[in-house]
Copies of this chain bind each other. A is one copy, B any other.
Amino acid sequence: MSVSASKKFENFSEWFDDVIFRARIVDNRFPVKGFSVYLENGAFMLDIIRKLLEDELEKTGHKKMYFPLVTSEELFRKEAEHIKGFSKEVFVIDQGSGEQRLIIRPTSETIMYPMFKLWIRSHADLPFKVHQSVNVYRRETKATRALYRVREIPWNEAHTVHETAAEAEKQVREAMQIYETVLRKLCIGYIILKRPDFDKFAGAVYSIAFDAWNPDGKVNQVATIHNLGRNFAKAYEIEFEKRDGSRGTPYQTCYGFGFSRVMAAIIAQHGDDRGLVLPPIIAPTQVVIIPIPFKGQEKQILDYASKVKDMLASRWRTVLDDRDDITPGEK
């Protein structure tokens, strides 16, 4: 879709920035650090990735809900490890006198779990599985980078609650299966690694990450899955009546899938020195018809090309390139 001036395997960063701008995926000139504009092809790709993932989540019984952007400081501070991990990188809204300070979600545990406390009463409410596709915000202090390292992060987060540790463990496997299905549909190469303790999610028992490779050898973490044990359930006082009538604290998992990083992985792995290359499933345009006009038969040929377009358009995203100011070769 665009010829890049840089070489992918010589100067990956430059190549990448060039490709996403020329292919109308992202415009990175917005004058606030870490925030950029998703142009029409970027917005289209985001929507496709979201749809693929949401379909899998809904097939496996995750309910879609939408939770608020903000939490209160009081709610944010309930889980000790979680605060330590995130407090330096949250954006804070100061409302001045009279009203409380608000924390913008870096992830939504502290927003969802106070509601889970209200909703979950008994084993009959479990397993409970919910998801949302939203932006989360992290005040990245390192150099930011379009799609890879941004302060506004489009993602899907799913959160589940279970009766037993074994069921939570099983849920981690289901989440792995879901993410694998979507990453394979999107033709991304990745490896799955359990994170060492120092690198696990703040508040989790353990974390598993999906790492995609970059042409420069660096790793691109596109998704993570966390077994939360009962850490958050205890902090947020989520309890349920067990089958034997006694009160219990449930087990939780949560997992996040980064849409912009997945998009970056597709571009990085499939693009070449001529520019953007996309797997058909996510290509905004899947078929381009270029009529080759012959003198005196221009109209018949264009009409036929137009018929072919109509035939294909119900199944493929098809464009008829009927510009008459450039040659078929230039197209």
Q: How far does the alpha carbon of A63 sit from the alpha carbon of B111 in the complex, in Å?
A: 33
Cβ–Cβ contact A104 & B93, under 8 A: yes
Residues of B with C-beta under 8 A to A111: 30
Interface assignment of A59: CB less than 8 Å from any CB of chain B: no
Interface assignment of A16: CB less than 8 Å from any CB of chain B: no
Instruction: Indicate with 1 or 0, residue by residue over A126-143, a CB within 8 angstroms of chain B CB atoms.
Output: 000000100101010000
Chain B, residue nearest A66 (CB): B38
Cβ contact of A35, chosen from B64, B70, B137, cutoff 8 A: B70
Smallest Cβ distance from A210 to chain B, in angstroms?
Answer: 23
**A43-B65, A95-B91, A95-B139 as given contacts; A70 in contact with B37, CB under 8 Å:** no
Cβ contact of A70, chosen from B32, B38, B70, B99, cutoff 8 A: B32
Q: How far does the alpha carbon of A33 sit from the alpha carbon of B72 in the complex, in Å?
A: 10
Cβ–Cβ contact B72 & A31, under 8 A: yes
Residues of B with C-beta under 8 A to A154: 66
Smallest Cβ distance from A58 to chain B, in angstroms?
Answer: 10
Cβ contact of A68, chosen from B37, B40, B67, B114, cutoff 8 A: B37
Instruction: Indicate with 1 or 0, residue by residue over A82-117, a CB within 8 angstroms of chain B CB atoms.
Output: 000000000111110001101010000001001100
Q: A35-B70, A40-B64 are in contact. List 5 more A-B contacts (CB 8 A).
A: A30-B67, A37-B66, A37-B68, A69-B135, A93-B94
Cβ contact of A37, chosen from B47, B93, B115, cutoff 8 A: B115
Cβ–Cβ contact A72 & B32, under 8 A: yes
Interface assignment of A29: CB less than 8 Å from any CB of chain B: yes
Interface assignment of A239: CB less than 8 Å from any CB of chain B: no
Smallest Cβ distance from A197 to chain B, in angstroms?
Answer: 31
Q: How far does the alpha carbon of A93 sit from the alpha carbon of B89 in the complex, in Å?
A: 13
Interface assignment of A152: CB less than 8 Å from any CB of chain B: yes
Residues of B with C-beta under 8 A to A72: 31-32
